[in-house]
Amino acid sequence: MIVPRPTRLIRRHGRFALDRDTAIRATPGAQGAARLLRALLRPATGLPLPLHEDGRVVLALDDRLVGLGDEGYALTVNEHAVVLRAATRHGLAHGVQTIRQLVSPTAMGSRPVSGVDWGLPGVDVRDAPRLPWRGVLLDVARHFQPVAVLRRFVDLMAVHKLNVLHLHLTDDQGWRMPVPRHPRLTSVGGWRAESMGDGVPHGGSYTRAELAALVSYADERGVRIVPEIEMPGHARAALAAYPHLGNFPRRRLPVWTRWGVSDEVFGVDDAVLEFCRDVLDEVIDVFPGRHVHLGGDECPTSEWESSPGAFRRVREEGLAGPRELHGWFLRAMADHVAGRGRVPVSWEPIGDPRVVVMPWRDAADARTALDLGHDVVMAPHRSTYLDYPQSADPDEPAGQPGLVVTARDVYHLPLPEGVLGAQCALWTEYVPTAHHLERLAYPRLAALADALWAQRPSWTDFTERMRAHTGRLSALSVPLSRKEDDARSPVPPC
């Protein structure tokens, strides 16, 4: 009853007992997975699980393991041993999560559980994901969350073998990414006076050390981080810190205190482009992953249409008009990111096929992007935006008005042939706390994980497996609605 569903799981006779004499043997390169397994099982079981050359729980990197890709693993359990093999560290990390689920739902908890004979059932598992991009966007710009919350969010992603945390670091309402050459981005841009008239200041930012440690923490669990710096719109926090970056440099603006989209956008002179390159260079230094997200959505052009500097740039670049500055700006930044050996990402096509596109307005936009030669990650808001409530129940937390997105909607998100995968998005205008964050995320992220990992996704099968998995989520202290806590109704109604 594993979530997400393994490619192949065959039950065998016998059971492997876990006790105080159980030890782990890790081959070269597998020590990190051994540490992870010990750290995940010890809180509830109390078992020390030391490393020993004669350990009967064997974790091994095996480059001869074929057909399972970069994230697959093979697991064999019988009464004599547990053997987990994978070609990569991330494959081992995913296999560790399967071992954890096989032990018991109570083994997922953070407090000691007494009176339990811990063990694993006999199984033979060969497992690999159907799609390589299985992600979640977390918006820390609208409501800042400390690193401890991000680590827990990564832990819950890893349970479900989700492998991409898309971190939305900047927006009109806040700037969270430290850039040493531009310290006012966080000291000024990281704070707003209030939110929608509530009179309560809000803000915060990360240090470089915190982000670098988060990258390592996530990597150990098979999760990579894709940072996003919004441009050329959604820039009000940056303009509050450095007014000269705007289209009207003498204007002074506070960090925006409203939700929605501010009309103020970056200017288009050389100093602005140099600033954006500085920021991206810092991002690339802190986040070693392949992808860097440039934003690019919801960019009003009204300021460019009244800016002498914008019209001057239009003439210099031979553009048809100010509206074309949007694509021109993003292509310039994509060039810079690609020149640093990374892959740029944007919400919409910008005229550069090197850019990975995330269609969010309409699922049909994916076909256009694919035809233009883009790699595509699906993010259609009607089936992946988790700021929408997941039911119409009276106890449902406040969310973005206009839609209800159920777990079934997420499970059946459109996945055209040829896409890299998909991701959900947790925008946080209506999500001020970590409790609220997790309440909106689950069980919908479990549905996403199963739909993207399983070779033959089945909603009916998923709901059956969720009967056991709801117990795991409860042991992990994930806040669930009353319906979800009832094992007879493991997912919200459709």
Residues facing 481 on adjacent strands: none
Q: 445 and 160 in contact (C-beta within 8 Å)?
A: yes
Q: What is the DSSP string of 113-129?
A: --S---EEEEEEEEE--
Q: Is the dihedral of CA 437, 438, 440, 444 positive or negative?
A: positive
Q: 115 and 52 in contact (C-beta within 8 Å)?
A: no
Q: Let me know if 458 is exposed, middle or buried by CB neighbors in 10 A (0-12, 13-18, 19+).
A: middle
Give dist(CA 325, CA 19) in Å, integer: 65
End-to-end CA distance of the chain: 22
Give dist(CA 328, CA 448) in Å, integer: 34
Amino acid found at 230? E
Give dist(CA 187, CA 255) in Å, integer: 11
Q: 484 and 406 in contact (C-beta within 8 Å)?
A: no
Q: Would you call 305 a catalytic residue per the annotation?
A: no
Tokens encoding 363: 């699922």
Specify the DSSP class assigned to residue 107: G
Element at 175 (helix H, strand E): strand 174-175
Of 220, 228, 264, 298, which one is the catalytic site residue?
298
For residue 232, cis peptide bond before it (omega within 30 degrees of 0): yes
Closest by Cα among 117, 70, 129, 74 to 99: 74
Q: 72 and 453 in contact (C-beta within 8 Å)?
A: no
Query: Measured between alpha carbons, how far is residue 162 from residues 55, 212, 213, 274 in Å?
Result: 29, 20, 19, 35
Closest by Cα among 444, 466, 376 to 414: 376
Give dist(CA 137, CA 444) in Å, integer: 13
Q: 72 and 86 in contact (C-beta within 8 Å)?
A: yes
Please identify every residue annotated as catalytic: 298
